[in-house]
Amino acid sequence: MILGDKEYDEFDEYDINIDGASSATTSTTARDNNNDNNIIITSPQTQQDIDQYDNTKKIYKEALIEKESTFISLDKHYLDENENENNKEYYNININNENTDYNNKNNNNSNNNSNSKEFYFNQDNSVSIFLNKILAWIYSKPRGLWNTIHCAIGFLFIFFGYNPTQSLITNIHEKDGSIGLTLIYLFFSISCFIAPSIIKKIGLIKSLYLSGFVYALFIFCSIDKLSYLFLPASCAIGFAAGLLWTAQPVYVSQNAASSLQGEKEIGIYSGIFQAINSSGGIIGNAVSGGLRTAKIQTTYILCTLGSVTVFGSSLLIFLKNVDSSTQGPKRSLKKTLISTFLVFKDKKFQLCIPLFILQGQSQSYFFQTINNLIGIERVGFISLVFGVVSVLGASLWGKVHDSKGKVVMQYILAGLYILSLVLAFVAYHFSEMPLFYVISAINGCFDSLQTILIFVTVATLYPIDNVAAFSASRFVMSISTAAAFFTFKYIPFFAVVFWLLLLLIAAQVSYTTLMKQIKDFTKLPSETSSDIIVNKISKHHDDYEDYDSFGTVNEDDKI
């Protein structure tokens, strides 16, 4: 007997009408003549059969792929008693693409179709049921999410090796360590302007994994016996860093835009990436610290860290390309380069600059000012607290953004930073060392929040073609970081706190102005898709639009 002769898609309630029992012979013939979308019972029907089917339908309702191009068909059948004495019940779940010609293939052909994913389980085996529910859940998620996780895992291994190496540089190269760090930030800033043209030429994925291999090269060149290569490698990694950190947010934002919810899920994508990526530095520092405690030679430690970074870079080779509809308009290399400079003329970007500067200078406050107050013997533990809270925060702030919006995140950010500065002032004045652990936790929470807020702001302001915007933002942040590391060590602690407080106020005022000038920016309408351009400040971006940097420009909007 055939039950339910229809295709059911993502939102249909597929009620089954039972016509009565039929013989196994009749059912077998019907099954051979029907397509994969039919649900077939080949044994006499009982009420127990109906109950079992209803239970199966309920369990796998959640497994329906939430895309118009996909549906799941369930085939239910009993094995012949001669084949299985226990007459156990099996289910076959086929996840098919809409491009498959269902009407021209029978069940045997569909089992061999490369466009379908099939998995079987025995209903009496709870482990098999659990595993196949997981498989159904995996296939139900958009590919952009798995692309983001894939990219984040590659970054985890890259910075598993790089972060502890950066901590060892000044000890390994006592004379050239500070010069090397200066060169890194200098070339980082320069490469931010060139990065969009390179990405345009070689593509996002090549930009990511080639930059990762340069990180590995830098780690190997940090070995003391190769000290003559350290400064050239510092220049190379600075250049690669600009390329890496321009390509990464573009890749993640494009994957978020290709998801079902588009920009409404961009916070979750950013949070997932940030949480996984930050874990690499924590694990790497822990492993490096353990190896140093075990008196392992620094050369062997660096070789180990470099090998891990090579592995992470190799993972990025296998990244999948993003849907071309989210990649923005085609543009010449000349216009790509010019658009990086023109983005500074855009009013929206200008209002974001104080926030970028705050992010850059906060790095010096976190890792230089606070560390100088607590002493080198406590730096490792303080950094561990910072990293762990940063990872936990990254997994939270993306959801906060998608549910509450950017304004709420802006106020939380201000509250955390003020609390950190006040507690730092108290801890410094009263020499309360345990309080610095609380401050480090607050700073880790703030850092993850600020990173995600900057990412989602740029990605939403420039939803399609955002390479130039991300590149320019990285330039501002890198220059700010370099300036702070150079100047904060010569400025009294109280002056640093006062300056950061003023900078926070400026960032809050400019960001509030941005929110007011862009209508419905903090909460996009439900019909928003990846090709909608949020642009309410029309009088300031005419030149920038000429280079299509906002994506698809409506001719009626041009002056």
User: Got the DSSP string for 264-280?
Assistant: GGHHHHHHHHHHHHHHH
Which residue type sits at 389?
V
pLDDT exceeds cutoff 80 at 450: yes
Q: Lowest-pLDDT range, 184-193, 311-320, 526-535?
A: 526-535
Both 381 and 412 in one domain: the answer is yes
- Asked whether residue 473 is domain-assigned, the answer is yes
Residue 104 sits in the same domain as residue 233 = no
Same domain, 132 and 171: no
Q: Are residues 198 and 136 in the same domain?
A: no
Instruction: Let me know if 387 is exposed, middle or buried by CB neighbors in 10 A (0-12, 13-18, 19+).
Output: buried
Q: What is the pLDDT of residues 461-475, one digit of tens each?
A: 887 777 888 888 988
Please work out, in degrees rounded to the nearest 5, the angle formed at the alpha carbon of residue 238 by the alpha carbons of 235 and 243.
Answer: 130
pLDDT at 424 over 80: yes
Pairwise CA distance, residues 57 & 74, whole Å:
8
Q: For the chain, state the CA radius of gyration.
A: 28
State the residue range of the domain holding 119: 2-140
Quick check: is 555 in a domain?
Answer: no
In a domain, 211, yes or no: yes
- % helix / strand / coil in the chain, to the nearest 5? 70, 5, 25
Tell me what pLDDT residue 445 has. 93
My answer on whether 171 and 125 are in the same domain is no
Cα–Cα distance for residue pair 278/448, rounded to 1 Å = 9
Total tally of structural domains belonging to the chain: 2
Apex 318 CA angle, 316 and 320, nearest 5: 100
Indicate whether 162 and 122 sit together in one domain. Answer: no
Sorted by sequence, the CB contacts under 8 Å of residue 120 that are 6+ apart come out as 90, 91, 92, 132
Nearest to 269 by CA among 530, 538, 509: 530
Task: For the chain, report the end-to-end CA distance as a whole number of angstroms.
Answer: 67
Q: Which of 115, 140, 165 is the last residue of a domain?
A: 140
Residue 541's H or E segment, with its range, is none
Give the side-chain half-sphere CA count within 13 A for 391: 15
DSSP classification of residue 387: H
Higher-pLDDT residue of 424 and 139 is 424
Q: Can you tell me the distance from the alpha carbon of 144 to that of 327, in angstroms, rounded to the nearest whole number?
A: 13
Answer for the pair 164, 379: CB distance below 8 angstroms, yes or no.
no
Higher model confidence: residue 197 or residue 244?
A: 244
Instruction: With a cut of 70, say whether residue 75 has pLDDT above it.
Output: no
Listed residues 140, 167, 185: the one ending a domain: 140
Give the CATH number of the domain where residue 431 resides. 1.20.1250.20
The answer to whether the pTM exceeds 0.75 is no
The answer to whether residues 75 and 53 touch, using CB atoms and an 8 Å cutoff, is: no
Phi, psi of 73 (to 5 degrees): -110, 140
Residues 238 and 340 in one domain: yes
Q: Is 24 a member of any domain?
A: yes
**Residues 185 and 204 occupy one common structural domain:** yes
Residue 442 lies in a domain: yes
Pair 261, 318 in one domain: yes
Return the pLDDT at 504: 96
Q: Express as a percent the part of the chain with pLDDT over 70.
A: 65
Out of 87, 112, 140, pick the residue that ends a domain: 140
Same domain, residue pair 134 and 148: no
CA trace torsion 211, 468, 343, 556 (10° rounding): 180
Flag whether 554 is in a domain.
no
Residue 220 has pLDDT above 80, yes or no: yes
For residue 558, tell me if it sits in a domain. no
Predicted pLDDT of residue 340:
75
Check pLDDT > 80 for residue 117. Answer: no
Tell me the angle at which helices 204-221 and 230-257 cross, rounded to the nearest 10 degrees: 150
Q: Is residue 94 part of a domain?
A: yes
* Cβ-based neighbour number of residue 341 at 10 Å: 12
286 with 325, same domain: the answer is yes
Could you tell me which residue, 330 or 520, shows the higher pLDDT? 330
SS3 499: helix
Same domain, 209 and 332: yes
